[in-house]
């Protein structure tokens, strides 16, 4: 999809950050990645698709088959 | 897809290891069910919160006897949370038909050969991209990229560029083995 191509290097870096599993910790509310707000809709969709691909790779590289998302969730409940 | 409901009793009893085992199989499908929200919400934030809430209510969940009851329940929690968030942020609504369609999302589990190929390709990465990739994996979502960059003595943009290079090289290496990994 051509409309989801990055427009510049800065946008690529924002997408790369949002595609990671890190999210600020908070009680009883959703905490978005700060860089998410700086992306347009196409960038947000691209970050989502990138995250899907990355989690597959991460799980394959993890001895327990867990992605960084799964590890982040487990850290919150333990 | 294998049914993960055999883990429910242990999860309901508070066994976090069992929940981890369930997450390994279920996460892609729950994430996939949120695809239609990707332009309006930070899906990663919604997904993580939904999975924490699932853990909290799992002891009270009663399976309906059909396959993948816990995954379907997780998808409903995630979808309801996403819809609530859309309302809170006054974003555009998602059509009800989409809700039902996304419940049917299916994601195949990675096979052992794919796992080994990814590990082999990771081991061939140049030092700096490998360092960035390893830092992200080791942090497992607990530290932001500013911190990770500092921890490996890189500037943020250098760290992110090395991480991008790592995943691109991984995808290219896998491509040479006939394994197509979508890297948007």
* pTM of the model as a whole: 0.90
Q: Which residue has the higher pLDDT, B110 or B151?
A: B151
B124 contacts A54 by C-beta, under 8 angstroms: no
pLDDT at A76 over 60: yes
B20 torsion bin: left (phi>0), alpha (psi -120 to 50), beta (else): alpha
A48 neighbourhood in chain B, CB within 8 Å: 35, 38, 43-44
Provide the token pair at B117: 């190929």
A38 neighbourhood in chain B, CB within 8 Å: none
Q: How confident is the model at residue B124 (pLDDT cuts 50, 70, 90)?
A: very high
Q: Chain B residue closest to A63 (CA)?
A: B115
Asked if the Cβ–Cβ distance from A33 to B42 is below 8 Å, we say yes
B181 contacts B173 by C-beta, under 8 angstroms: no
Task: Work out the minimum CA distance from A38 to partner chain B, whole angstroms.
Answer: 12
pLDDT at A27 over 80: no
Asked if the Cβ–Cβ distance from A66 to B20 is below 8 Å, we say yes
Say what the ipTM of the complex is. 0.90
Q: How confident is the model at residue B172 (pLDDT cuts 50, 70, 90)?
A: very high
What is the CB neighbour count within 10 angstroms for residue B1? 14
SS3 of chain B: helix, strand, coil, percent, to 5: 70, 0, 30
């Amino acid at each position: 999809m051509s409309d989801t191509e990055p427009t510049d290097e800065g946008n690529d870096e924002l997408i790369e950050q949002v595609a990671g599993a890190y999210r600020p910790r908070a009680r009883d509310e959703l905490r978005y990645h700060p860089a998410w707000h700086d992306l347009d809709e196409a960038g947000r969709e691209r970050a989502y698709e990138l995250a899907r691909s990355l989690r597959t790779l991460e799980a394959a590289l993890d001895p327990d088959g867990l992605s960084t998302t799964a590890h982040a969730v487990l850290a919150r409940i333990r | 897809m294998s049914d993960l409901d055999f883990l429910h009793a242990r999860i309901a009893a508070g066994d976090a290891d069992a929940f981890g085992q369930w997450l390994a199989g279920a996460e892609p499908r729950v994430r996939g069910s949120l695809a239609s929200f990707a332009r309006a919400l930070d899906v990663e934030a919604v997904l993580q919160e939904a999975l924490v809430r699932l853990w909290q209510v799992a002891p009270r969940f009663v399976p309906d006897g059909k396959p993948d009851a816990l995954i379907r329940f997780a998808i409903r929690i995630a979808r309801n949370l996403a819809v609530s968030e859309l309302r809170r942020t006054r974003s555009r609504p998602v059509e009800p038909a989409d809700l039902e369609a996304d419940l049917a999302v299916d994601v195949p589990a990675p096979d052992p050969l794919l796992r080994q190929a990814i590990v082999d390709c990771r081991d061939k990465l140049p030092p700096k991209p490998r360092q960035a990739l390893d830092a992200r994996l080791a942090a497992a979502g607990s530290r932001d990229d500013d911190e990770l960059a500092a921890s490996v003595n890189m500037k943020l943009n250098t760290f992110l560029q090395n991480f991008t290079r790592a995943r691109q090289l991984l995808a290219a290496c896998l491509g040479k083995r006939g394994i197509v990994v979508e890297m948007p």
